[in-house]
């Protein structure tokens, strides 16, 4: 596959312009592209164009759908040679006013590609997720089968970092199918990284872990090999009904149990919770608030989020449930006390 000689620029330039963006950046990107006067070919990719290629093609010449490691270099090579873009799998474009989709390309072998380019970034150790949570774009973008970089390749690139951090849908799922942990694989990875004698942060932002993957054994590995004493846990809701509706695959009791295990091992759990999920009733919202207060009282921290419907997900066309004044006020009090962070109200609304 040909290499891409690309440069970061502050505004559109002549040639081939590449954009990768999520839904939150879509409006700004579309405005920049539509107002540009340069004679360029515009290629879009990332979560939002992949989920809404027809929309993106109102502004872009081509859209790379899903993973781009193989598709993008192939597309650029074809365009530079003046060849037929229909031969490139994994793209969409317009021809005579009609949207053409060339078909899906097989998922890539992560070991064949570096986890970062010229700019150092957290090491992506796994990709894909089997759970298909209703609010999440990951399974549609990266597949429902987890793939992992090999330990040798991870260690190779970790040598470039002063401290080592990761991205993964679930760090504690490394080496597994994503439904049941393989802690032998996790230990092999952490043991190999420890030989680099650099700080290792595992299960911290921009990654997290699922609560049912948190165990005494898992925490023993993290406290032995890693520098972090905070563990990010995806809790999402305190309502069993909501967790079932969004296909999370765990209950609120497992979130509390994971927090208690962390605290027993001298680690602080940082739990993500979502408010305003579309099926959420007033009672469900109170249950999530109660969960937040309960784990905070025990020593955990909470990061709250307001539900955002994302394209390409089962909840894409839904509306967020309104956050009650009582819940908003209680969360505000917790924030003032330094016990909760995040944004739990819709943009433009204050408690």
Domains 15-101 and 110-343 share a fold: no
Confirm or reject CATH 1.20.1250.20 for domain 110-343, answering yes or no: no
pLDDT tops 90 at residue 131: yes
| Residue 35: band (very low, low, confident or very high) from pLDDT cuts 50, 70, 90 | very high
The secondary element (H helix, E strand) that includes residue 341 is strand 340-343
- Dihedral sign, Cα of residue 171, residue 177, residue 179, residue 183: negative
Bridge pairing between strands 166-167 and 123-124: parallel
In 3-state terms, what secondary structure has residue 103?
coil
Contact 235, 255 (CB under 8 A): yes
pLDDT tops 80 at residue 6: no
What's the CA gap between 127 and 144, in Å, rounded?
Answer: 9
Whole-number pLDDT of residue 1: 52
**Using one digit for the tens of pLDDT, what is the confidence trace for 239-278?**
999 999 999 999 999 999 999 999 999 999 999 999 999 9
pLDDT tops 60 at residue 120: yes
| Residue 5: band (very low, low, confident or very high) from pLDDT cuts 50, 70, 90 | low
pLDDT tops 90 at residue 11: no
Q: Provide the token pair at 79.
A: 């365009």
CATH number for 15-101 (one of 3.30.1360.120, 3.40.50.280, 3.40.50.720, 1.10.150.530): it is: 3.40.50.280
Whole-number pLDDT of residue 348: 53
Angle between the 282-298 and 252-264 helix axes, to the nearest 10 degrees? 10
**Using one digit for the tens of pLDDT, what is the confidence trace for 279-315?**
999 999 999 999 999 999 999 999 999 999 999 999 9
The domain segmentation of the chain, as residue ranges, is 15-101, 110-343
In 3-state terms, what secondary structure has residue 58?
coil
What's the CA gap between 16 and 9, in Å, rounded?
Answer: 12
Q: Provide the token pair at 314.
A: 């089962």
**Using one digit for the tens of pLDDT, what is the confidence trace for 58-107?**
999 999 999 999 999 999 999 999 999 999 999 999 999 999 999 999 99
In 3-state terms, what secondary structure has residue 289?
helix
Whole-number pLDDT of residue 9: 84
Percent of the chain with pLDDT over 90: 90
Whole-number pLDDT of residue 2: 52
Contact 39, 58 (CB under 8 A): no
């Amino acid at each position: 596959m040909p290499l891409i000689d690309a440069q970061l620029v502050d505004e559109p330039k002549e040639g081939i312009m590449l954009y990768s963006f999520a839904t939150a950046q879509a409006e700004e990107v579309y405005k920049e592209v539509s107002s540009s006067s340069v004679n360029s070919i515009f290629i879009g990719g990332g979560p939002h164009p992949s989920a809404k290629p027809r929309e993106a093609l109102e502004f872009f010449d081509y859209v790379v759908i899903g993973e781009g490691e193989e598709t993008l270099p192939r597309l650029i090579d074809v365009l530079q040679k003046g060849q037929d873009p229909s031969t490139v799998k994994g793209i969409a474009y317009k021809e005579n006013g009609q949207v053409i989709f060339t078909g899906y390309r097989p998922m890539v072998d992560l070991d064949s590609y570096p986890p970062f380019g010229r700019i150092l970034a957290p090491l992506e150790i796994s990709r894909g997720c089997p759970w298909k949570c209703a609010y999440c774009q990951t399974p549609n973008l990266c597949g429902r089968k987890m793939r992992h970089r090999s330990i040798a390749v991870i260690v190779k690139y970790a040598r470039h970092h002063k401290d080592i951090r990761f991205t993964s849908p679930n760090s504690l799922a490394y080496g597994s199918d994503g439904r049941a942990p393989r802690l032998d694989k996790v230990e092999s990875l952490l043991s190999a990284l420890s030989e680099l004698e650099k700080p290792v942060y595992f299960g911290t932002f921009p990654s997290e872990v699922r609560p049912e993957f948190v165990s005494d054994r898992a925490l023993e590995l993290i406290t032995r090999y890693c520098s972090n004493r905070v563990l990010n846990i995806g809790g999402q809701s305190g309502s069993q009904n909501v967790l079932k509706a969004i296909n999370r695959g765990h209950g609120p009791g497992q979130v509390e149990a994971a927090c208690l295990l962390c605290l027993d091992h001298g680690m602080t759990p940082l739990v993500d919770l979502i408010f305003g999920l579309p099926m959420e009733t007033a009672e469900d919202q109170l249950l999530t608030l109660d969960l937040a207060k309960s784990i905070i009282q025990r020593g955990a921290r909470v990061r709250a989020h307001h539900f955002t419907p994302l394209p390409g997900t089962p909840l894409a066309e839904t509306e967020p449930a309104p956050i009650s004044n009582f819940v908003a006020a209680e969360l505000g009090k917790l924030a003032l006390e330094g016990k909760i962070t995040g944004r739990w109200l819709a943009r433009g609304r204050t408690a």
